[in-house]
Structure 1
Amino acid sequence: MSAVTSNTELSDSQKTSMKLLVIGALGVVYGDIGTSPLYAFKELFAGNHPIPLTEANVFGGLSMIFWALIVIVSIKYIVFILRADNRGEGGIMALIALALHEAQDKPKRAKWIMLAGILGTAMFYGDGMVTPAISVLSAVEGLDVVAPQLRSMVIPLTLMILIGLFVFQKHGTAKVGAFFGPVMGAWFGVLGVMGVYNLIQNPYVLLALNPIYAYHLLVDNPHMAFYAMGSVVLAVTGAEALYADMGHFGRKPIRLAWAFFVLPALVLNYFGQAALVLANPAAMDNPFYMGAPEYLRFPLVCLATCAAVIASQAVITGAFSMTRQAMQLGFVPRMLVQHTSEKEQGQIYMPGVNWLQLSAVILLVLTFKSSNNLAAAYGLAVTGDMVITSLLAVVVAAKIWGWGWYRAALLFAFFLVFEVIFLWANIQKIPDGGWFPLVAGVVIFTIMTTWKRGRMLLRKRLRSEELRLDAFVGSLAVGMPTRVPGTAIFLNADIEGVPHAMLHNLMHNKVLHERVVVTSVTIEDVPFVPETDRVEVRALKENFWTVQIRYGFKEEPNVPASLALCGAYGLPFSMMETSFFLGRETLIPKLNSEMAFWREKLFVTMFRNADSATNYFNIPTNRVVELGTQVVL
């Protein structure tokens, strides 16, 4: 009897935990795609490239939206992409790491994977700039429906909300995060109820569930359908968040939230908007707000604004997480990372990223001035990211899942057919606003590839002048310099080489510490490294040691904490008797080098302004000695 009770309690506990995760996923994962009804259907018939508002076009466009949700989100992301987890973690950085792991012995393939991954990351940042602008602006535009005399307040109010949101980031999301799930739960409930309210008046539109209507639109007027697909893709914006946030909630809660809450609510609302405009074509100016009873429109504006802020918050924090992962994998310079929660390691704030995002968002709102105009800028970044995700997933499916190249390419070619058409349709919008994510993507891609290439070039230059550690230690037997008390830790990228800081210390001070530890930090292509594999200690002659420290790309390096683990291997540390020696290189660009001169100048600028290694590795500043050297690139 007691055993049965215990199992029941465990089952109830698991059910409660699952419910909480599903609610949390509603608040974080689905904020972006959940606010798409504010502008996606409207863009089809009242955007910059509208198609005529006829019954056949409404049915065709609506069918396209429904099947885009099924094919791209439900099948590609929910069924397949969520399988591509890197030890439980998702996102394009995890996908890059997985694909690169399988191409370690194939430099050419690894190069293309890295370039594709960097381009996808650049598209993610472009998406992250547009999402807050279009979400909040489209929500606040409801004022134009509720009270047309307040139209002039839409942009100032949007800017006030966005500035307040970004300013709040330094305080963290722990205080308001608990409200995200319930608010978005209410939002999806309202979406569904509004859809049913309008569907009852014209249930005939449910026939658009049949893909034959989408097919007829494609075949009968391919030119019109082509432009329609540029708007249809707005209904699936935010799909990449399902994968990016998998590590926070797990695969099952994300799938449950989609199947039982998000998908039904979205489908009902889109079909409700279609039913409304067929009954009242004038409602096409803003079918989302016009679909609510007049006395409920102002509360709906408030709820929509809250949902848009939550969607924006998820994108902003996603940019922080993505940047830290990119930093760990060596794609961007070191930046200041501040923790906003004592309990949750993942809750971070990056001032540099925050203010750059805010500047871009303000520029977008002031430049485009309406959600219709911003929709043109939105689609290109989203579709570009989707295409690259599919290409990287082919490598993962073929090599890691064991499908082989033929099966993997065949499956994702099916998705790529739709995504490439979406991408091409959005390329046509470049003059209308698609130029912004393109320019942002090119700038970010240039920065990331320059940093990656520059780091490789710098490491090559340093290694060309480096002595081998074993040979150096052996030579000390011939003429040992004076040894002074204490421990000296020299951080060096190459665990087998003699750090430049050590040579400079020996050259100028003529001494070595009685215990010398050469330490190297490596970021692995996995999210987390177990504590048992954190350090690898090796003892050399003359009381020299090497320590290899390993972290995952989602972990925060903490060298002193990791060195404390070395005591179990016969290498205990006392911080009060330990000094950290770091090399500080001054870079000098050179003409006719292996990298273009302008890129060298860009790399030198980024290198000079990068956050210090002391902060990055969490080393006590009062234990650090920096020794400089000049390096000609």
Structure 2
Amino acid sequence: MSGEADRTMGIEEEMETVEKNNKLKDRKVSWAKLRRVDSLNLEAGRVSMSSGTHGSKMNWRTTLSLAFQSIGIVYGDIGTSPLYVYSSTFTSGIKHNDDILGVLSLIIYTIVLIPLLKYVFVVLWANDNGNGGAFALYSLICRHLKVSLIPNQQPEDKELSNYKLETPSSQLRRAQRLKQMLENSYAARILLLLATITGTAMVIGDGILTPSISVLSAVSGISTSLGQGAVVGITIVILIGLFSYQRFGTDKVGFTFAPIIFVWFSFIAGIGLYNLFKHDIGVLRAFNPKYIVDYFKRNGKEAWLSLGGVFLCITGSEAMFADLGHFNVRSIQMSFSFITFPSILAAYIGQAAFLSKFPEKVSNTFYESIPHAIYWPTFVVAVGAAIIASQAMISGAFSIISQALSLGCFPRVKVVHTSTKHQGQVYIPEVNYMFMIACIIVCAAFKTTTKISRAYGIAVIGDMMITTTLVSLIMLVIWKKSIWQVALFFLLFGSTEALYFSSQITKFTGGGFLPIASAMFLTTLMGIWHYVHKERYMFELRNKVSSEYIRELAADPDISRVPGMGLLYSELVQGIPPIFPHLIASVSSIHSVLVFVSIKAIPVSRVALEERFLFRHVEPREYRMFRCVVRHGYNDTLEDPVEFESQLIQNLKAFIQQDSYMLTEGADVALTEAQVESQEETKARSANSSSRIIPNKNQGGVSRASSDPIVNKSSNTFSSLPIQGAEDEVKFIDKAMEKGVVYMLGEAEVVAQPNSSFINKIVVNYAYSFLRKNFRQGDKLMAIPRKRLLKIGMTYEI
């Protein structure tokens, strides 16, 4: 009976083993891809096919829902421009009636050229997995060109489902030459980063000026009865309420605001058509660009200076790209093409028709052109729309700051993801209240929309010019368009924006200094943070722990192992950080299971959960030390510590099982480049041979068939661990978990080297130190529980 029982138990164990092997095979690891990468490694080939292009698999119902939301989020700014464009253009009054046609023609073709052609049909497609903005463009470039200043690229990253890396075609050698030139030029890499940071700073500055001018211009409709002081006071109260409402998130704000903006577009389109047919249908002649030429001939320098006012008709265009992460390409294209574009065009045409009969009323064109019967309903809707206009750039600024934070270019702030249904919708409390204070100061200082408009255009046009440059680079190197297509895009849009910028810059002393000063301040702040962040990483890279040190540590009898699991956090990807020897020297003991956790930002929007964790054994294996790289995109959020801990442990166990499985297979997970080439040659010679995986009943695992050319059966390089060994190791980890998990966080103080330059000492010892102390600390950013946190102090000299 006992023998029969033993045989039954043996059969059951064998069945369990076969079942485990089948589960391992079901993980769908791409063996061919894994041979090509070094390996923090085994998880690298687990590609999720569920995370495609942003919005590519959205049904039309979802797309229409997002298109409706986008009306309330994206177009408030460009939609409320009719409130002040004509008054900002004709600051000295209308001297010739045909000037109205010239300005209207400029407005029509500016709207067609920049928002419609450039953004809707070109720039929106330069997204990074559905995310827009300067940093999305920069991350897209960094994936295809090795221009990142922090050398943490790994071959495994290319296997991510969202990476979508394509090698330039051999037929377009120009793209390859430009790629090599940029990669080999340190100055070009710095210039690219600075352009990205400056564009981001411009958008942030725009997020401050947009609420000020939009709300103030709407409330000014009652300035004649209450006075300008009361208008400013009401504007400030409205702004405080608006910023207080941001915490509810883009999703709720969008559904609340969209009906109001839709009604607003209906009002301005209806009023425009009313004025067109009532006063002068002849203004439709402005579709002939001849009137633009005549306008410049007639007015000369004054016409050029008036371009600053004309440009205000497209402020908010960049919100379509900056806010793209909140929606998708199709929803933005639909809402702009079918609602926003025809509505604002009708509004400007109608106002031009009104001015052709009443040119003396240009200082308050919008309110003067409203039919008396609907004046107050329009005023109420205008105020609501102006409040909502602020939302466009606020949401865009939140998204871009979140991206900058993930790529190490912004001090640590709290990012709240406000929607579980739609990706990329975030709220940043600290930035929100900084914006509110800045808007209040701007309104109180400038008091009128005319003065704010002098500052407003420079921030917008600066960001547009940087976007044009980055998209041109993407077209050349990534999209691999022909040189004439890239030249046409760059010259057409770049020259137009340069012309508008030259007009805007003349208003520097009248208020234009504000966005330039704020952009310089924010660029300096982000530049300092990224510089020290990079130097800190390079210090850890240069001083990383050697393998000899680990072997000596394993053999040192004075080092004790305490029960439990330790998670040592660092940013270093290529090795063990220097904070570890500092810990050993101070404590002389480590946990029975130790995991070096590196939080790595990947230049993609999102990393699928099943692709997030990469593990590697730290030799000697019996020491039970592991390296783990936790990869996240700039729109990912680090989970709750309990959830994160559970995911890490589950993936560690899966790694141990899979590592044991591959070792049993005889697969080399640390192949050198030369070995890979040799194997590919062998594989080519054996093209007619077939390879398959078959069960190995003797070992209770699986082995590769003899026809596989990769396996060298005479090699004893690999120490095959049986599945039972993996199970023992998993049980050991479970016991360590029962004793508790301790989070160890390196708190490295960064100081300048004594012999460094005076500027470096100012930047590192004072500027960076101030930012680090006054923004969020690492443990708060990752929500590490305080009772299980051990901080390790160390000083880095850079």
Q: TM-score range by the shorter chain?
A: over 0.9
* AA aligned opposite 1:256: M
Summarize the alignment of residues 35-114 of structure 1 with structure 2, pairs less than 5 Å apart. Answer: 35-46=80-91, 50=92, 52-104=94-146, 105-108=183-186, 109-114=188-193
What is the total number of aligned residue pairs between the two structures? 615
**Mean CA deviation greater in 116-125 or 348-357:** 348-357
Cα distance in 2 for residues equivalent to 1:501 and 1:411? 50
**In structure 1, how many angstroms separate the alpha carbons of the residues matched to 2:282 and 2:294?**
18
Distance 1:135 1:304 in 2: 10
Aligned letter for 1:588?
V
- 1:274 corresponds in structure 2 to 352
Q: Which residue of 2 aligns with 1:525?
A: 603
Counterpart Cα distance in 1 of 2:503 and 2:422: 41
Partner of 2:276: 199
Matched residues in 2 for 1:220 and 1:509: separation? Answer: 82
1:225 to 2:324 alignment:
no
User: Cα 1:521–1:152, aligned 2, differ >3 Å: closer, same or farther?
Assistant: closer
How far apart in 2 are the matches of 1:359 and 1:334?
20
Retained in 1: the 8 A contact 2:325–2:424? Answer: no
* Unaligned runs of at least 5 residues, structure 2: 1-57, 147-182, 657-729
- Distance in 1 between the 2:290 and 2:250 partners? 45
Preserved contact between residue 323 and residue 392 of structure 2 (Cα < 8 Å): no
Give the conservation status (yes or no) of the 8 Å contact 1:36–1:237: yes
> Would the aligned equivalents of 1:64 and 1:232 in 2 still touch at CA under 8 Å?
yes
Alpha-carbon contact 2:94-2:360 (below 8 Å) kept: no
* 1:593 equivalenced with 2:756 (yes/no): yes
Q: Distance in 1 between matches of 2:214 and 2:376?
A: 17
C-alpha distance in structure 1 between counterparts of 2:233 and 2:77, whole Å? 22
2:326–2:423 contact (8 Å) kept in structure 1: no
Secondary structure at 2:214 match in 1? helix
Q: How far is 1:101 from its partner? A: 2.5
- Structure-2 change in CA distance of 1:17 and 1:346 (3 Å): closer
421, 434, 453: which one pairs with 2:499?
421
1:15 and 1:627, CA in 2 relative to 1: closer, same or farther beyond 3 A? closer
Query: Which of residues 641, 645, 654 in structure 2 aligns to 1:560?
Result: 645
Q: Greater shift after overlay, 414-423 or 210-219?
A: 210-219
The answer on 1:317 being equivalent to 2:398 is: no
1:284: how far off?
Answer: 0.9
Q: Distance in 1 between matches of 2:388 and 2:129?
A: 28
The 5 A counterparts of 1:563-574 are 563=648, 564-570=650-656, 574=737
The yes-or-no answer on 1:502 pairing with 2:600 is no
Q: Determine the C-alpha separation between the residues in 2 that align with 1:351 and 1:42.
A: 36
Please state whether the residue corresponding to 2:555 is helix, strand or coil. Answer: coil
Q: Which moved more, 1:250-259 or 1:499-508?
A: 499-508
122-131 or 598-607, which moves further after superposition?
598-607
On the 8 A contact 1:472/1:498 being kept in 2, the answer is: no
Asked if structure 1 preserves the Cα contact closer than 8 Å seen for 2:573 and 2:600, the reply is: no
In structure 2, distance between residues paired with 1:199 and 1:516: 75
Distance in 2, Cα, partners of 1:223 & 1:61: 14
**Separation (CA, whole Å) in 1 of partners of 2:577 and 2:488:** 50
Secondary structure, aligned partner of 1:238: coil
Compared with structure 1, are the counterparts of its residues 461 and 302 closer, same or farther at alpha carbon in structure 2 (3 Å cutoff)?
Answer: same
Aligned partner of 1:185: which letter?
A: F
Q: Secondary structure at the match of 2:745?
A: strand
Cα separation, 1, equivalents of 2:225 and 2:192: 51
Report the aligned-residue RMSD: 2.1
CA displacement 1:387-412 (0-9 Å, x = unmatched)? 00000011100111111555313322
User: SS of 1:596's equivalent?
Assistant: helix
- Aligned residue number for residue 741 of structure 2: 578
Instruction: Tell me how far 1:589 sits from its aligned partner.
Output: 4.0
Q: Are positions 1:385 and 2:463 aligned together?
A: yes
Asked if structure 2 preserves the Cα contact closer than 8 Å seen for 1:78 and 1:255, the reply is: yes
The equivalent residue for 1:441 is 519
Larger radius of gyration: 2
The residue type paired with residue 569 of structure 1 is F
Whether the aligned pair in 2 keeps the contact of 1:501 and 1:582 (CA below 8 Å) is: no
Q: Tell me the distance in 2 between the aligned counterparts of 1:150 and 1:299.
A: 21
| Alignment partner of 1:474 out of 551, 571, 575 | 551
Alignment correspondent of 2:713: none
Counterparts of 1:398 and 1:306, CA distance in 2: 43
In structure 1, the partner of 2:51 is none
Tell me whether 1:301 sits opposite 2:379 in the alignment.
Answer: yes
Q: 1:581 to 1:553 in 2, by over 3 A?
A: same
- CA distance 1:346–1:615, change in 2 (3 Å): farther
CA 1:349–1:64: 2 relative to 1, 3 Å: same
Once the 2 structures are TM-superposed, how far is the Cα of residue 143 of structure 1 from its aligned partner? 1.0
Letter of the aligned partner of 1:511 in structure 2? S
Q: Residue type matched to 1:291 in 2?
A: S
Match of 2:194 among 90, 93, 115: 115
Alignment of 1:237-256 (within 5 A): 237-256=315-334
Q: CA contact under 8 A between 1:490 and 1:501: conserved in structure 2?
A: no
Give the letter for the 2:413 counterpart: M
Selected match of 1:535 from 608, 613, 620: 613
CA deviation vs aligned residue, 1:87-116 (integer Å, no higher than 9, x gap): 122222211111233331344332221111
Distance 1:345 1:567, change over 3 A: farther
Relative distance call for 1:386 and 1:576 in structure 2 (3 A) is farther
CA distance, structure 2, for counterparts of residue 405 and residue 474 of structure 1: 56
| Cα distance in 2 between the residues matched to 1:338 and 1:472 | 41
Measure the CA separation in 2 of the matches of 1:73 and 1:160.
Answer: 32
Q: Give the residue type in structure 2 aligned to 1:538.
A: R
Give 2:772's match in structure 1, choosing from 577, 594, 607.
607
What is the distance in 1 between the residues matched to 2:97 and 2:473? 43
TM-score if structure 1 supplies the norm length? 0.92
* 2:706 pairs with 1:628: no
Residue in 2 that maps onto 1:169: 246
For residues 479-508 of structure 1, the C-alpha deviation after alignment (integer angstroms, 9 at most, x for no partner) is 141111111111122234333442233112
Deviation at 1:127, TM superposition (A): 0.7
Q: Please state if 1:32 is matched with 2:77.
A: yes
Q: Is the 8 A contact 1:534 1:562 kept in 2?
A: no
> 1:459 maps to what in 2?
537
Q: Is 2:713 aligned against 1:548?
A: no
**One-letter amino acid of the structure 2 residue matched with residue 193 of structure 1:** G
% identity of equivalent residues: 32
Which SS does the other structure have where 2:128 is aligned? coil
SS in 2 for 1:433: helix
Q: How far apart, in 2, do the equivalents of 1:458 and 1:18 lie?
A: 44
Helix, strand or coil: the match of 2:749? strand
Gaps of 5+ in 1: 1-12
Q: Deviations over 1:431-483 (max 9, x none)?
A: 11101101100100100111111112222333444322x33222224314111
1:324 & 1:516 partners in 2: Cα distance? 31
Tell me the alpha carbon deviations over residues 10-52 of structure 1, each in whole angstroms, 9 at most, x when there is no partner. Answer: xxx9554443222112111211111111111221113xxx464
Cα distance change, pair 399–328 in 1 and its aligned pair in 2 (3 A): same
Separation of aligned partners in 2, 1:592 and 1:70: 57
Question: Displacement, 1:615?
Answer: 2.4
